A and B are shown apart, each in its own frame.
Chain A
């Protein structure tokens, strides 16, 4: 077990009063909660409470941006991917780096829902549902980019091994094929995991809903769930097994994404450090996104007794730990460049630091390497606005990281006569902003129509859930 998880594990143990203020005052759940109040409070957000005005404004803005994405795609299909700034030598631009960025963000959701479940981290309970939704929606955004980058997206099904009149099969020795399988498996398993987690909560909503259409829809989704002890037993088994399956899966997905780079011979890509470095970066970016979203959300919906300061501290610590791994990755990249003794590798790292894209590199070091060091301090972690800003900086930093990896390696490779320069066009940016809009539009719909905190799992961590005797 990694060291930082052991540390979090110990935090679940009760501490003496006054030993550390953080743990004494910040429990996993508010002490006033009961089975009834947990159920009512969370289901009320969906069923009873008036939708806040901010919801409509937020949804309208993100839905408008989603239209920008559709517009870009239409234009792209019409004119071809020359619309984007990609060309030879930089054939992978914003599209591929956005793919990597989005799919990385998704990884925190699976980490929270699966890995922390296996490690019996009780604090995961109030954020896992939300984080899983984030995973699903982020993966949906990620999928759009490589599909559109195909050039002829309407032939995207050629990537799957189906019997065809041409008589050929996909090239299974290519990491790009592995990627197709990894990402589609990841999306499917994440959706299954999310849906299974929702079944008992659908039943809760079915039994609380006042209006017939809601009762009908939630009733159909609950599939007749009635909380039978036999059902719960198999349910728990299935849930644990799914968590066990999702754990290696999530690690494999970003490993395979990193193979897209590492299997190539381009200087700066052909490195064995890539898989762990990518996985850590993914979790880093993902936790930044979870914080970025939960900090305003808990304020708006008054969920402070569910998502406590304990969660904020723990997530900040995970971010710090993975951030340090990522910084280690940057250091090793620079070290490899020098130690390899290979002139192309040396030039690559020199070019990153001093070439035309040097500002991106140094901004990346500032965002991902320097800023998160503030998280060492408890005082800073306790200030939610600062924590939110740090998360924003990290999200930008992770985007810059992928820019540096994708673009600086490609634009100057082995032969100076084939060097080039890449700058994204307005349509590149339109597509990126559009997917952000799509992501938020989906999230807004999610918090309006589904319980954003797992109700049944919240019940299990209440003190009254303890069975007395024996």
Chain B
């Protein structure tokens, strides 16, 4: 079955972060929603420009921290008060002030795990294959080039029109990205 390869989207290449952000804003204003930018470093304005401003990550980290704190404290409580109480120097079984350092360390540990693995999970990493890697100049996305993609899943997507639109944004280069 020889047919036209399926399309992931159309990609435009820019030379500077300002050009990319300006183009992303125009694209968003033009009504495209399934868009994404690619850059060699984080650009705060870019995620705003493509309409991505909220992430659930802080909540995941908070949950991790709470689980760590409760788990850390009650682990000690259960071991020292319920499971095997031992009188140490006449101190109460529930010597809660002495349990705080470990509770704190467990809080930080679980929250840090939540931050790292939460970030990776939300980003769907590790992901060995992604269509954008097929684009000819995409290796420069980790050097000094900036890319904007309008995905073919966008409800407004029409190949020729998108091509024309991206070219009008003074991109250095516009190309198809195959799936």
In the complex, the answer to whether A237 meets B58 with C-beta atoms within 8 Å is: yes
User: Is the CB–CB distance between A252 and B105 below 8 Å?
Assistant: yes
B101, B113, B127, most chain A CB atoms within 10 A? B101
Assess whether B17 is in contact with A229, with CB atoms less than 8 Å apart: no
| With A207-B143, A227-B141, A238-B57: A169-B41 Cβ-Cβ less than 8 Å | no
| Contact yes or no, B101 A233, CB < 8 A | no
- A141: CB under 8 A from chain B? no
Does B130 sit at the interface, judged by CB under 8 A?
Answer: yes
- Complex: chain B residue closest to A252, CB-CB: B104
In the bound assembly, the distance between CA atoms of A185 and B126 in angstroms comes to 24
Q: How large is the interface on A (under 10, 10 to 19, 20 to 34, 35 or more residues)?
A: 35 or more
Say yes or no: is A341 at the interface (Cβ < 8 Å to chain B).
no
Query: Are A228 and B36 closer than 8 Å at their CB atoms?
Result: yes
Per-residue A-contact encoding for B66-105, CB less than 8 Å = 1, 0 else: 0000000001100110011010100100010011011011
A192, B112: Cβ atoms closer than 8 Å: yes
Cβ of B116 within 8 Å of any chain A Cβ, yes or no, is yes
Option from B42, B140, B143 in Cβ contact (under 8 Å) with A235:
B42
Contacts of B24 in A (CB 8 A): 229
- Smallest CB gap from A230: residue in B: B52
Bound complex: CA of A292 vs CA of B58, how far in Å?
38
Secondary structure at chain A's binding surface: helix, strand, loop or mixed? helix
Q: Quick check: is B31 within 8 A (CB to CB) of the other chain?
A: no
Residue of A238, A248, A457 with most chain B CB atoms under a 10 A cut-off: A238
The proximity string for A residues 23-40 relative to B, scoring 1 for CB distances below 8 Å and 0 otherwise, is 000000000001110011
Complex Cα distance, B18 from A468, in Å, reads: 5
Interface string of B15-35 (1 = CB under 8 A from A): 011100110100000000000
- CB contacts under 8 Å to B, within A7-35, are 34-35
Q: Would you give 5 A-B contacts (Cβ < 8 Å), ordered by A? A: A207-B140, A224-B127, A228-B36, A233-B53, A235-B119
Q: Point out residues on B near A: beta carbons under 8 Å.
A: 16-18, 21-22, 24, 36-47, 50, 52-53, 55, 57-58, 61, 75-76, 79-80, 83-84, 86, 88, 91, 95, 98-99, 101-102, 104-106, 108-109, 111-113, 115-116, 118-120, 122-123, 125-130, 132-133, 138-144
